[in-house]
Amino acid sequence: MRLILRQLTSLFIIATYSSYASAGIKKDVFDIELEQLMNIRVETVSRKSESLIKTASAIHVITQDDIRRMGATSLPEVLRGVPGLHIAQIDSNNWAISIRGLNDRFSNSLLVMIDGRSIYNPLFGGVYWNMHETLLEDIERIEVVRGPGGTVWGANAVNGVINIITKNARDTQGAQFTLLGGSQEGLFSARYGGMMNDQISYRLFTRGKRVQEFNDTPQHPANDHWRDLSSGFRVDGNMDATSRWTLQGGYNVGHANQLTTATSLIPPSTLPLADNVNYQSGNVQFRWDKQFSENNRWRVQSYYDFFGRQALHATNRIHTVDLDIQNQLKFAALQKHEFVWGVGYRAVVDDLDSNFIVAFNPNHRYTRTFSAFIQDEIQLTNRLKFTVGSKMEHNSYTGFEFQPNARALFEINDRNSVWVAVSRAVRVPTRSENDFRINFLATPGRDQFSPPALFSLFGNRSLVTEKIYAAEIGYRTLLTNTLSFDTAGFFNYYDDLIGSRPSVGFESAPFPPHLLISNLVSNNQAATAYGADMQAKWQPVDYWQLASSYTVFKMDLSATRLILPTSRNHRRATNSRYDPT
């Protein structure tokens, strides 16, 4: 009977009800020629609106119509079609996503944002993708930049930037209800949008999701069942013809299972552990845009974000406050120059629990980041433009950092362009890399007279930023109104990558006395990576589009790195707060 029910429920049940306030019908994307699609406006590369075909960067745009046609039910699935993006699903509720290498569950070289709000986790780095479920129907587009973006977005935008941009509330009027079910996964969503008056529109939404274990056989239980519920709102308004504002927020709560190990100095030393993870997060964000003139535009954005996660019988809470001010300016005396500049402030306050497996010292910490950036786009000729800029930051972990960038774009003609770029970007160490201790393995003594051994990983307050020096070149062409081709090549050199430095010592506490096989987190690795991404799109008829991509990638990672005694790294490493030996 159970098998019959599984077969029946494996058929998707999709029920959708929609009612719209207006009778207007949106034009399908496949009624638009590729020439128009190549001129989609993007803003992630330079923090100002510009045409895709005239962008000096390897950028890919996923439109709402792309999302609707691919049948995806989560953000990682939506991103699978992006060339150069590395995506691996670890279990039912964890993904490893990166751009151009250094992929891991906590891929900390990729900056991910939703409407300009960073969802990069300051504790371990990377993104908890299962904690950021959103209504896919409300996404206007996703801009994926392959390559460093630190000049305008700051630290941690090392290998790329993913910017998820949601729709204006005015574009989601009426009611929509979706139900999808199967033996492996089920979800529901409900959304309602309306108008408060002629100037203010709003929407409310909720979304629930359930994912079964990947392997539920008694012999090999996966223990990765996942449930998630998220709700939110967005309000958009116009103060006058030249200014608009947005207020939005959301709350997310969920439960996930995971398989891990329990470590103990008392035999049995290491046991498999089926752990339960409970999490919640919330945010509220305000943005104000004002155009004082055609050559003077301002944007002010601020948000508060809360993160809470309970795992391994420990609860971690993080509060983040962020303020960002940006100005796009063009002077009458400098007609060939267009400036974008801004300042920012971010404060992070955490409250972290400790246990024998994972401990933080201190358990509470307050960190701040002050930042400023400036970028100048110079139109040298009608077809050649040059962009130069840098971001300057001062953070609580490594002090002052700068991230310069230079780009040039040459339009061969209206359908062909070539671009080059050189960049320097950095990744700031995370809270865990500074202050944690993880006891990940324990082994008993060989006999009653031999002490047990404990293998541990220690954080290091003397870490410096990981750095990337990148060179890129790209070519973009619209061969016909129905055929386009886009390619980009790159070479990256990584310096001061974080690895570990082993040592052996002895500890009397915790009891019983034991050998300590420690690994101190250190900047002792370097790497080079190079490759190319290519994509072709062909639209033979209005209702049919074919896309194909190919990526070549190679990375050489040095296991150790020579640190000269006169280097900044060596001076800081000698003052490490942890010395297990």
Q: Which of 247-251, 353-357, 418-422 has the lowest mean pLDDT?
A: 353-357
**448 Cβ partners below 8 Å, 6+ apart?**
none
Question: Does position 69 have pLDDT exceeding 90, yes or no?
Answer: no
Top-confidence residue, 55 or 349: 349
In this prediction, residue 21 carries a pLDDT of 35
Q: To 5 degrees, how large is the angle CA 283–CA 172–CA 243?
A: 70
**What does the pLDDT average to over 192-206?**
95
Whether the CB-CB separation of 76 and 136 falls below 8 Å is answered with no
Considering the domain boundaries, does residue 33 fall inside one? no
In this prediction, residue 561 carries a pLDDT of 52
Residue type for position 399? G
- Rounded Cα distance between 530 and 532, Å, is 7
Question: Does position 3 have pLDDT exceeding 90, yes or no?
Answer: no
Q: How many domains does the chain have?
A: 1
Considering the domain boundaries, does residue 98 fall inside one? yes
Considering the domain boundaries, does residue 28 fall inside one? no
The parent domain of residue 367 ranges over: 2-22+38-573
Q: Look at residue 516 and give its three-state secondary structure.
A: strand
In this prediction, residue 422 carries a pLDDT of 96
pLDDT digits (tens, 9 = 90+) for 544-565: 888 899 999 999 987 555 443 3
Beta strands in 132-242 (DSSP E): 139-146, 160-166, 174-181, 185-195, 200-211, 226-240
| Cis status of the peptide bond prior to 513, with omega within 30 of 0 | no
pLDDT digits (tens, 9 = 90+) for 479-537: 888 888 999 999 999 999 999 999 999 998 888 899 999 999 999 999 999 999 999 98
pLDDT, mean over the chain: 86
**128 Cβ partners below 8 Å, 6+ apart?**
121, 279, 309
Q: Look at residue 80 and give its three-state secondary structure.
A: helix
- Rounded Cα distance between 390 and 151, Å, is 5
β 41-42/15-19 pair status = unpaired
In this prediction, residue 167 carries a pLDDT of 95
Considering the domain boundaries, does residue 476 fall inside one? yes
pLDDT digits (tens, 9 = 90+) for 359-405: 999 999 999 999 999 999 999 999 999 999 999 999 999 999 999 99
Instruction: Provide the token pair at 510.
Output: 């915790």
Q: CA nearest 212: which of 220, 204, 223?
A: 223
Confidence of residue 214 (pLDDT cuts 50, 70, 90): confident
Share of the chain above pLDDT 70, in %: 89
Q: Look at residue 137 and give its three-state secondary structure.
A: helix
pLDDT digits (tens, 9 = 90+) for 420-475: 999 999 999 999 999 999 998 998 888 878 899 999 999 999 999 999 999 999 99
β 226-240/200-211 pair status = antiparallel
Q: Look at residue 11 and give its three-state secondary structure.
A: coil
β 514-541/453-458 pair status = parallel
In this prediction, residue 217 carries a pLDDT of 66
Whether the CB-CB separation of 101 and 494 falls below 8 Å is answered with no
Whether the CB-CB separation of 299 and 133 falls below 8 Å is answered with no
Q: Look at residue 234 and give its three-state secondary structure.
A: strand
CATH number, domain of 339, equals 2.40.170.20
Confidence of residue 37 (pLDDT cuts 50, 70, 90): low
Whole-angstrom distance between the N-terminal and C-terminal Cα of the chain? Answer: 61
**What does the pLDDT average to over 102-107?**
84
- Rounded Cα distance between 68 and 16, Å, is 13
Report the length, in residues, of the chain: 581
Considering the domain boundaries, does residue 579 fall inside one? no
Considering the domain boundaries, does residue 29 fall inside one? no
Dihedral pair phi/psi, residue 298, rounded to 5° = -125, 150
Q: Encode burial over 199-234: b for 16+ CB neighbours within 10 A, e otherwise.
A: ebbbbebbbbbebbbbeeeeeebbbbbbebbbbbeb
pLDDT digits (tens, 9 = 90+) for 253-299: 999 988 888 888 888 777 888 888 999 999 999 999 999 988 899 99
Considering the domain boundaries, does residue 31 fall inside one? no
Q: Can you give the pTM of this predicted structure?
A: 0.88
Whether the CB-CB separation of 34 and 541 falls below 8 Å is answered with no
In this prediction, residue 45 carries a pLDDT of 87
Q: Hey, which residues does 160 pair with through a beta bridge? A: 110, 146
In this prediction, residue 2 carries a pLDDT of 41
Whether the CB-CB separation of 417 and 409 falls below 8 Å is answered with yes
Considering the domain boundaries, does residue 82 fall inside one? yes
